[in-house]
Amino acid sequence: MKTPNAELHWEKTRRLMFIMLGLWFFFSFIVHFFVNALNSIVILGFPLGFYMAAQGSLIAFVVMLFWFAKRQDSIDRECGVAED
Amino acid sequence: MSSTSIPRTGGTEFTDNLNKVYGLYTGGFVVFVLFLAFLEWMGVPNSIIGYLFVFFTLAVYAGIGVLSRTMQVSEYYVAGRRVPAVYNGMATGADWMSGASFVGMAGTLYLLGYDGLAFVLGWTGGYVLVAVLVAPYLRKFGAYTVPDFLSSRYGGNFARFFGIVVLFCCSFTYVVAQIYATGIIASRFIGISFEIAVFVGLLGILLCSMLGGMRAVTWTQVAQYIVLIIAYLIPVVWLSTKQYGIPVPQLTYGQALQEIASLEQQLVAAGSTLKAHTQPFTSYSPLNYFALIFCLMLGTASLPHILMRYFTTPSVRDARKSVAWSLFFIFLLYFTAPAYAAFAKLEVYQNVIGASLEALPQWVYTYGNIGLMKVCGVDAKSVADVAAACGQVAGHPGTLRVQDLAINADVIVISTPEIAGLPYVIAGLVAAGGLAAALSTADGLLLAIANALSHDIYYKMVDPSAPSARRLIVARVLLVVVAIAAAATAATRPADILAMVSWAFSLAAAGLFPALVLGIWWKRTTTAGALAGIAAGFGITIFYLVVTRYYPALGVESFGMTSLLNPITGAPVVDVAAALANPETVGAVLASKVGWFDVTNISSALFGVPIGFAVMILVSLVTPAPSREMQDFIDAVRRPRGETLMQEKTT
């Protein structure tokens, strides 16, 4: 087992937090600012701007969270502060 | 006594066999539905099938509740902290998705089109904030309630009390609305009177939660999630298969959207005015649309009944995984809701609008008779009623026009089985699903309120030396008291309280979000800063809500509020000067139609959250930094390894 390195752990955790918040902000707000432009693209009947709000962003949130759980867990292990 | 040293009696076997138990349960439920379908085929009347559905499912939930009874404090408050991530995810899904989400969400999307998607986005994206910013750290701390954390981080009972006030404000109106929803669903589907239905629902809720606390609520919520998701998916999957040959409504409704768009063009060409389904910002201005998403997301990350679900996982790692699973299970319902809305709109545009008044589809009358469909301003009870009402309208062409029809949002989900031509048993299934959604949310909320009263007020503030047995008795008595108070309020059909439910998110966001997030992520946050920030953020939010809703004239005259604007034309929605000229009616005319910067009161946390953060940071910077011990405490909260910080005494 590695010796705990609390400073490194928190630095990496913070960096991951900012990445997650950046992605969150993009899929919650930024992509929907362009709804009118995206709506001119139609895939399988879905105007893309509508699709992003109805499904696209939601799928992104779900995938992000599973990735986050895995990534944070490996940070915890790397820095020796994971639960046994 | 730490979580790991709890004697693992009575329940270990159960938690080891969860897949088997819930697999059997799901199979049993499917067999039960098939059996009822068989009864229907044999000619058993619909009302009997409705009764069987409601009472059988209620009995199963109550049975789980009674089997999960416990006399251990940690079992009662946090289910012994051994709920696996996936099952906690399902329980959170049921906890989260209320009766209104189940029955009303698709209807909101039907009525608002694109703009309704603010709710879909807001109620899912908030989980990113839960997982990243809050839940794992509260789990490490080892709280029983959210005020527990505030009290430890911000030194004492003042912070605890602030937390309880915010919790009570956002949870009580919400639980009243859930009990109201159980009453509506039960009375509509099985025809018992609304008041009796409310108390039948209350009984179901109490049996699920009273004896076993969090432990019982967890395992009934899992059972309720399974019922509600099956009930939500079956009608729309069936409809999609029937109309497009593919059982994936989430894909096929793209075609429905295309058909809707072309029908909309025809209707507009024929002189109708309507809001195009996929056209953004027809009901909310862009500012209000994004403000609503913001408030719903931050509210999600602050609502105590959701956060406390993550106190039940075996580890911090599981808490994170569990948030991901929660969102997945919630996503299954929320990405299906727009399909319901699209199919219903297509049906209405194809077969209702433009139909001659004598040839409206049968389902219009079914829901007209229970007051959910209006044609030409009256309930569509019969062909004669409709013809008479439309005959009164000058120049009515004799075929139904867009503006003649008023659909209640609740119709969309409950009418789909009938529109799709499904047997009655599916309609009963939908009722059981709606009931499961409302009951499970009510359970979670009730437990959040009662635990704040019993754990935070009674045990931590009134009698810290109370033995476990007495604490658990007090917890149960308070649970019953709060439940009866909520049911009694619901039985009076309080229109105001139901309208206030949407406020819960703004209140939670402004009251708790800055204190929770800064408490974990910024060591410099001081007690004075936190208290001032909560008071300022929560204060300004509740001020904005109350003034815009109840004292709009005062808001205009003394606080610089102006009329909200029409999102399409940009014109004021009310003439404020004219309304002020008549003091008799000014309150009713202006209610919820004025505000600052055209922000509707449902998004009032748009003011409260930034002010809360700003005050918290400024006051923290001018007060002495937290002690060395507090900084070590925060370090320990941030580090997954190690014991929980709040330890239960061993008596």
- In three-state form (DSSP H/G/I as H, E/B as E, the rest C), the secondary structure along chain A is CCCCCHHHHHHHHHHHHHHHHHHHHHHHHHHHHCHHHHCCCEECCEEHHHHHHHHHHHHHHHHHHHHHHHHHHHHHHHCCCCCC
Please compute the mean of the pLDDT values over residues B463-473 and round it to a whole number: 90
Helix (H), strand (E) at residue B374:
strand B373-375
Q: How confident is the model at residue B497 (pLDDT cuts 50, 70, 90)?
A: confident
% of chain B surpassing 70 pLDDT: 97
Do the chains contact at A69 and B324, CB–CB below 8 Å?
yes
Give me the DSSP letters along B297-324: HHHHTT-HHHHGGGGGSSSHHHHHHHHH
At B358, the pLDDT band (50, 70, 90 cuts) reads: confident
B454-467: b or e for each residue (b if 16 or more CB lie within 10 Å)? bbbbbbbbeeeebe
| Nearest CB to B132; choose among A4, A20, A73 | A20
pLDDT value, residue B480: 92
In this structure, are residues B490 and B198 in contact, taking their beta carbons and an 8 Å threshold?
yes
Q: How confident is the model at residue B5 (pLDDT cuts 50, 70, 90)?
A: very low
| pLDDT tens digits, B203-241 | 888 888 888 999 999 999 999 999 999 999 999 999 999
What span, in angstroms and rounded, lies between the C-alpha atoms of B236 and B247?
9
Indicate if the pLDDT at residue B143 is higher than 90.
no
Nearest CA in chain A to B129: A21
Residue B416's pLDDT is: 87
Given this model, what pLDDT does residue B173 score? Answer: 87
Best residue in A5, A32, A33 to probe B by mutation, most B CBs within 10 Å?
A32
Judged against a pLDDT cut of 60, whether residue B651 lies above it is answered with: no
pLDDT for B100 beyond 90: no
The interface predicted TM-score of the complex, written ipTM, equals: 0.97
The verdict on a CB contact (< 8 Å) between B641 and A83 is yes
CA dist., res. B30 & res. B22, Å (int):
12
Cβ–Cβ of A62/B278 closer than 8 Å? no
Q: What's the average model confidence in pLDDT over B37-51?
A: 90
Judged by CB atoms closer than 8 Å, whether chains meet at B254 and A32 is answered as no
CA distance B274 to chain A (A): 18
Which CATH number applies to B48-343+420-503: 3.40.50.300, 1.20.1730.10, 3.50.50.60, 1.10.3720.10? 1.20.1730.10
Quick check: A28 and B293 CB within 8 A?
yes
Whether residue B533 has pLDDT greater than 70: yes
Is the pLDDT at B647 greater than 80, yes or no? no
Q: What is the DSSP string of B67-84?
A: HT----HHHHHHGGG---
Give the whole-angstrom CA distance, residue B202 versus residue B197: 8
Tens-place pLDDT, residues B544-573: 999 999 999 999 999 999 999 999 888 999
Q: With cut-offs at 50, 70 and 90, classify the pLDDT of residue A84.
A: confident
Output the six-digit token pair for B471.
Answer: 């604490």
Residue B36 above 50 pLDDT?
A: yes
Residues B389 and B377 sit within 8 Å (Cβ to Cβ) = yes
| B54 pLDDT above the threshold of 90 | no
Q: For testing the chain A interface, which of B114, B120, B295 should be mutated: the one with the most A CBs within 10 Å?
A: B114
Alpha-carbon gap: A8 to the closest alpha carbon of chain B (Å): 11
**pLDDT tens digit string along B504-524?**
999 999 999 999 999 999 999
Q: To the nearest whole angstrom, how far is the Cα of A32 from the nearest Cα of chain B?
A: 9
Q: What is the reported pLDDT for B506?
A: 94
Mean pLDDT computed over A9-27: 97
Query: What chain B residue is nearest to A19 in terms of C-alpha separation?
Result: B132
| Among the listed residues A18, A19, A2, the one whose alpha carbon sits nearest the alpha carbon of residue A77 | A2
Whether the per-residue pLDDT at B8 is higher than 80: the answer is no
Least confident of A27-41, B184-198, B313-327, B427-441: B184-198
Is B290 in contact with A64 (Cβ distance < 8 A)? Answer: no
A4–B117 CB contact, under 8 Å: no
Would you kindly state where each structural domain of chain B is located, as residue ranges?
A: 48-343+420-503, 354-400, 519-626
| Average pLDDT rounded to a whole number, residues B89-103 | 92
CB B138 within 8 A of CB B307: yes
Q: What is the pLDDT of residues B570-618, one digit of tens each?
A: 899 999 989 898 888 888 888 888 999 999 999 999 999 999 999 999 9
pLDDT of residue B104: 85
Alpha carbon distance B305, B315 (integer Å): 19
Mean pLDDT, chain B, integer: 90
